[in-house]
Chain A
Amino acid sequence: MEKKKKFEEKLKELEKIVEELEKGDIDLDSSIEKYTKAMKLVKECDTELKKVEEQISKIVLENNETKDFSIEETE
Chain B
Amino acid sequence: MNNSKYLTITALTKYLKYKFDSDENLRQVFLRGEISNLKIHSTGHLYFSLKDETSKINAIMFATNARRLPFKPVDGMNVLVTGRISVYETTGNYQIYVEDMLEDGIGNLYIAFEQLKAKLSKEGLFDQKYKKEIPKIPSRIGIITAPTGAAIRDILSTIKRRFPLCETYLFPALVQGANAAPDIVSKLRQADTFDLDVIILGRGGGSIEDLWAFNEEIVARAIFESKTPIISAVGHEVDFTIADFVSDLRAPTPTGAAEMCVPNISDVLTQINNYNIRATKALNKKVEIARVALDNIKANYILNNPIIMYENKKQLIDSYLEKIKTFIFYKVNNYGIKLDNIKANYILNHPKELYSKKEMNLDNLITKLELLNPLSVLKRGYTLTYQNDKIVKSIKSIKLDENLVVKLIDGNIKVNVVGIEVK
Query: Interface residues, chain A, CB within 8 Å of chain B?
Result: 1-2, 6-8, 11, 14-15, 17-18, 21-22, 24, 28, 31-32, 34-35, 38-39, 42, 45-46, 48-50, 52, 54-60, 62, 64, 66, 69-71, 74-75
Chain B residue at minimum C-beta to C-beta distance from A61 = B172
Taking a contact as CB atoms under 8 Å apart, the answer to whether B137 and A56 are in contact is: no
Given contacts A54-B164, A55-B168, A56-B167, 13 further A-B contacts (CB under 8 A): A2-B139, A7-B165, A14-B272, A28-B287, A35-B280, A42-B272, A42-B275, A55-B164, A56-B168, A57-B170, A59-B147, A60-B172, A71-B157
Complex interface: chain B residues within 8 A of A74 (CB)? 147-148, 152-153
Taking a contact as CB atoms under 8 Å apart, the answer to whether B168 and A58 are in contact is: yes
Taking a contact as CB atoms under 8 Å apart, the answer to whether B156 and A57 are in contact is: yes
Taking a contact as CB atoms under 8 Å apart, the answer to whether A28 and B167 are in contact is: no
30 A-B pairs with C-beta separation under 8 A: A7-B137, A7-B139, A8-B136, A14-B275, A18-B275, A18-B279, A21-B278, A21-B279, A31-B286, A34-B279, A35-B279, A35-B280, A45-B272, A48-B165, A49-B269, A49-B272, A50-B269, A55-B165, A57-B167, A57-B170, A58-B168, A58-B170, A59-B147, A59-B169, A60-B194, A62-B190, A64-B190, A64-B194, A74-B153, A75-B153
Chain A at the B interface: SS class: helix
Query: With an 8 A cutoff between CB atoms, is B282 at the interface?
Result: yes
5 shortest A-B CB distances, which residue pairs? Answer: A55-B164, A21-B282, A8-B137, A56-B167, A38-B279
Complex interface: chain A residues within 8 A of B159 (CB)? 55
Query: Interface residues, chain B, CB within 8 Å of chain A?
Result: 135-139, 147-148, 152-153, 156-157, 159-160, 164-172, 190-191, 193-195, 265, 268-269, 271-272, 275-276, 278-280, 282-283, 285-287, 290
A66 to B171, CA, bound (A): 10
Taking a contact as CB atoms under 8 Å apart, the answer to whether B279 and A17 are in contact is: yes
A58 to B148, CA, bound (A): 14
A11 to B270, CA, bound (A): 12
Taking a contact as CB atoms under 8 Å apart, the answer to whether B190 and A46 are in contact is: no
Taking a contact as CB atoms under 8 Å apart, the answer to whether B279 and A42 are in contact is: yes
Taking a contact as CB atoms under 8 Å apart, the answer to whether A39 and B276 are in contact is: yes
Complex interface: chain B residues within 8 A of A22 (CB)? 278, 282
A8 to B20, CA, bound (A): 69
Chain A residue at minimum C-beta to C-beta distance from B271 = A11
User: How far, in Å, is A13 (CB) from chain B's closest CB?
Assistant: 10
Taking a contact as CB atoms under 8 Å apart, the answer to whether A60 and B169 are in contact is: yes
Chain A residue at minimum C-beta to C-beta distance from B272 = A45
A74 to B275, CA, bound (A): 41
User: How far, in Å, is A48 (CB) from chain B's closest CB?
Assistant: 7
Cβ-neighbour of B160 out of A2, A11, A55, A58 (below 8 A): A55
Taking a contact as CB atoms under 8 Å apart, the answer to whether B190 and A60 are in contact is: yes
Q: A18-B275, A57-B156, A60-B190 are in contact. Are A69 and B170 (CB under 8 A)?
A: yes
Taking a contact as CB atoms under 8 Å apart, the answer to whether A59 and B272 are in contact is: no
Taking a contact as CB atoms under 8 Å apart, the answer to whether A8 and B139 are in contact is: yes
Taking a contact as CB atoms under 8 Å apart, the answer to whether B275 and A15 are in contact is: yes
Taking a contact as CB atoms under 8 Å apart, the answer to whether B279 and A58 are in contact is: no
A2 to B167, CA, bound (A): 12
Q: A52-B164, A58-B170 are in contact. Are A42 and B276 (CB under 8 A)?
A: yes
Complex interface: chain A residues within 8 A of B287 (CB)? 28
Cβ-neighbour of B279 out of A8, A39, A71 (below 8 A): A39
User: How far, in Å, is B143 (CB) from chain A's closest CB?
Assistant: 9
Chain B residue at minimum C-beta to C-beta distance from A31 = B286
Taking a contact as CB atoms under 8 Å apart, the answer to whether B136 and A18 are in contact is: no
Taking a contact as CB atoms under 8 Å apart, the answer to whether B172 and A59 are in contact is: yes
Chain B residue at minimum C-beta to C-beta distance from A2 = B139
Complex interface: chain B residues within 8 A of A57 (CB)? 156, 160, 167-168, 170
Cβ-neighbour of A28 out of B148, B152, B278, B286 (below 8 A): B286
Cβ-neighbour of B170 out of A21, A24, A48, A60 (below 8 A): A60
A64 to B167, CA, bound (A): 16
User: How far, in Å, is A6 (CB) from chain B's closest CB?
Assistant: 5
Complex interface: chain A residues within 8 A of B195 (CB)? 1
Cβ-neighbour of A24 out of B136, B194, B272, B286 (below 8 A): B286
Complex interface: chain A residues within 8 A of B191 (CB)? 60
Taking a contact as CB atoms under 8 Å apart, the answer to whether B275 and A59 are in contact is: no
User: How far, in Å, is B282 (CB) from chain A's closest CB?
Assistant: 4
Chain B residue at minimum C-beta to C-beta distance from A5 = B139
Chain B residue at minimum C-beta to C-beta distance from A1 = B195
Q: A8-B139, A42-B276, A55-B159 are in contact. Are A24 and B282 (CB under 8 A)?
A: yes
